[in-house]
Amino acid sequence: MLTNNLHQSLKLLRFYLKKDRNSILIWLLGFIISVSGIAFYYSSMEMSEVEKQILYETLNSPAMILLLGLAPDVQPTTGMLFSLEMSLFTGILVVIMNILIMSSNTRKAEEGGVLELIRALPTGRFAPLIASLIQALIVNLILSLCIGISFIFIDTTVFSTQGGFLFAFSLGGTGFLFACFSAIWSQIFQSNRSAMVASFAFLGFNFILRGITDIQAPHLSWLFPLSWLYLAQPFTNNRWFILILMYSTALIAATIALLLNYHRDYDGAYIRQKPGREYAKKSLLGRFGLLHSMNKTTLISWVVGVIALGFTFGYTFTDIQEFFKGNDLIQVMFPNTTGADFSKQYLGMLATIFSILIAIAPLTFMGRLLTEEKNGRLENLISKPISRLYILMTHLIYALGALILLSSVSILSTYGTSGGSMALGEVSEAILILTPAILFILGFGILLCGILPKLYVLVWIMLGYGFFVVYFGNMLKMPEWLKGFSPFYHITPLETLDLFPLITLTSLGILFTIIGFVAYQKRDLSL
């Protein structure tokens, strides 16, 4: 019986690998080049022991623990500092890759009718899911091996081969583990969007809860799979047993996904979508009724996530000043710097991270228009006496409304838990001053909607590059011209505010929007 349920799994595996080969190759090359490149740069850095200790103390502050995780209680080395700064950040990106790949071959394929065609052929009941899980395992093993091997060619006096392979395989293990979690959500929810929201919400709450426990109760950090990345402690204690923990948990999660799959019908779910009303609500007849009905679950999820993240970040503001006052080494090395200065620097970094995260929501809502066009559902609207400009303008206004809502929520939630260590005006200014950069990217997205819709992925690349510059720009000593490709880089701090970049970014965003509207009105639609 088991053999029948697994029938044609290998053929499906080959099909999935062939179908996803381009996206997988892009992801893998991106990870391998970036991780090995940054590691090579670290190996060429000549940091004194005092400089390493200063960086270690900084990374051991509550704010950085929240962002990066716990630092090992050992004498800092270059390898350990590299691992601490890279593990969680890279691991989250690996998890995102796995969620996208897993969802495309499970609930998305089922929702689009692809699995119905596959199961009409002589294939086993478990074959599609097993093939998807094996594909995720293969991709993560290739990623682990390639990154691990790259450390062999880097200075082994800085990065030990054992630590390099542990770092690499902890990334792959985390990716595969969350791929299995994503497979579970794909069985529970009926739509791909709900499954994706659940997968990313699970990732987000893992990040937030492990950050809180890292600061308040480090012994509880073991409860959260995302913590295992840095608890493996590559290049120091090299805890290889973490990999056993990762893959054992992944095996349990995969088994649960298979059991859930076995006990449900095709196109069924354990949490089904509510049946629609017999008669539509009057709100659906309005300008934004249908659009909000399709996006309200996503928007609510974003609001909840931003509130949780704002509470978590705001909680660390008080700890920043206390950390500075209680750290003699930092005060000696920065004699003219106060705890308030450190808090302002942290607020600036936090505001940029918040702005980049918030920008994802309006860009997603604009991209939804292209998804509806690609799936042929936009034809139902175009066939009515509704202009293209009306539809595009509706999506733009909704995206801007989401941006305003999420910005307000981020300000209030961050200020509400800061303990009065920051004024409401300071928090508001730090976040709102970055709005022109978001408007620039949003305008660029509309331009692509009108001219080159297939290249809409460029807005995500631009947003990701902006985060990379914020996170690694100073550390890697990137040249100014290279940083300049990020719109967020051109916005100066409030103390030295330059209005010219703000006006330029906003004007370019408006110009891109106008050109995008004109082009969208004239181009052929994929109906």
Q: Within this chain, do residues 226 and 355 fall inside the same structural domain, yes or no?
A: no
Q: Within this chain, do residues 263 and 380 fall inside the same structural domain, yes or no?
A: no
Q: Within this chain, do residues 248 and 297 fall inside the same structural domain, yes or no?
A: no
DSSP for 323-334, please give it: HHHT-HHHHHHS
Selection from 237-246, 298-307, 407-416 with the highest mean pLDDT: 237-246
Report the pLDDT averaged over residues 218-237. Answer: 91
Global pTM exceeds 0.75? yes
Q: Which of 147-161, 168-182, 207-221, 487-501 has the lowest mean pLDDT?
A: 487-501
Q: Within this chain, do residues 418 and 520 fall inside the same structural domain, yes or no?
A: yes
- Taking 50 as the threshold, does the pLDDT of residue 267 lie above it? yes
Q: Within this chain, do residues 365 and 461 fall inside the same structural domain, yes or no?
A: yes
Q: Within this chain, do residues 519 and 478 fall inside the same structural domain, yes or no?
A: yes
Report the SS3 class of residue 275: coil
Q: Within this chain, do residues 415 and 355 fall inside the same structural domain, yes or no?
A: yes
Flag whether 281 is in a domain.
Answer: no
Q: Within this chain, do residues 268 and 290 fall inside the same structural domain, yes or no?
A: no
Q: Considering its fold, how many domains does the chain have in total?
A: 2
What is the per-residue pLDDT for 93? 93
Q: In the block, which residue shows the tokens 């790949």?
A: 101
Tell me the HSE value of 470 on the side-chain side, using a 13 A CA sphere. Answer: 26
What is the band of 420 on the pLDDT scale with cuts at 50, 70, 90? low
Phi/psi for 271 (5° steps) reads: -120, 100
Flag whether 458 is in a domain.
Answer: yes
Q: Within this chain, do residues 246 and 319 fall inside the same structural domain, yes or no?
A: no
CA distance 263 to 269: 10
CA distance 68 to 86: 8
Flag whether 90 is in a domain.
Answer: yes
Flag whether 148 is in a domain.
Answer: yes
**Rg of the chain on CA atoms, in Å:** 24
Q: Residue 4 region, left (φ>0) first, then alpha (ψ -120 to 50), else beta? A: alpha
Q: Within this chain, do residues 86 and 208 fall inside the same structural domain, yes or no?
A: yes
Average pLDDT for the chain: 85
Flag whether 375 is in a domain.
Answer: yes
Give the Cα-Cα-Cα angle 304, 306, 312 (nearest 5 degrees).
105
Q: Which domain holds residue 460?
A: 286-527
Q: Within this chain, do residues 109 and 218 fall inside the same structural domain, yes or no?
A: yes
Q: Within this chain, do residues 264 and 337 fall inside the same structural domain, yes or no?
A: no
Flag whether 118 is in a domain.
Answer: yes
